[in-house]
Amino acid sequence: MTDPLLITFLAERDASCPRCHYSLRDLTTDRCPECGLELQLAVKSAKPLLGAWIAALLGTAIPGGFNITFCTFLLVSLLVDPRSFYWDQSMLATIIPGVVAALTLPALLIWRTAFLRCSIRRRWLIGSLSTGAQVAPLLWLFIFE
């Protein structure tokens, strides 16, 4: 059902389709006539509110990239020459965060919208935990080993 407020809003304004940028002025349905995108009238924040998400993504991706690379190197060296493979328990400080990063990064990308719906406090908590899970084992490794 077409929202009469949407039709009234578009009758008075030069808004464009968010997907194809086609002019929606004087639109009579809730679909873009050019690309077929379903439209709705909404209230939106003036700020993008992406800070916590970007911090979580970068805080996980940068140290996580190191950890994932290290895990890949270990796996390849184990598969190529298992007899000369060297194992040390401290390697767990990069293996566990590497696996966590390999799971967390796609989750942050796939569930970005759900992440952004959380309260600001919860978003920064998730971002801090995600970053901390990558950085803390590395700090522990470099400081205490």
Question: Smallest gap, in angstroms, from Cβ of residue 20 to Zn ion?
Answer: 3
Amino acid code (one letter) for 46 = A
**Does residue 29 belong to the site contacting Zn ion (CB under 5 A)?**
no
| Phi, psi angles (nearest 5°) of residue 20 | -110, -5
**Does residue 78 belong to the site contacting Zn ion (CB under 5 A)?**
no
Residue with tokens 């709705």, as numbered in its chain: 40
Angle at 61 between CA 73 and CA 141, to 5 degrees: 60
Residue with smaller CB distance to Zn ion, 19 or 117: 19
Count of residues near Zn ion by CB under 5 A: 8
Q: Which of 22, 73, 111, 140 binds Zn ion (CB under 5 A)?
A: 22
**Does residue 17 belong to the site contacting Zn ion (CB under 5 A)?**
yes
Residue with smaller CB distance to Zn ion, 32 or 71: 32
Q: Which long-range contacts (CB under 8 A, 24 or more apart) does 39-46 make?
A: 39/6, 40/3, 40/6, 41/3, 41/5, 41/6, 41/9
Q: Which residues bind Zn ion (CB under 5 A)?
A: 17, 19-20, 22, 32, 34-35, 37
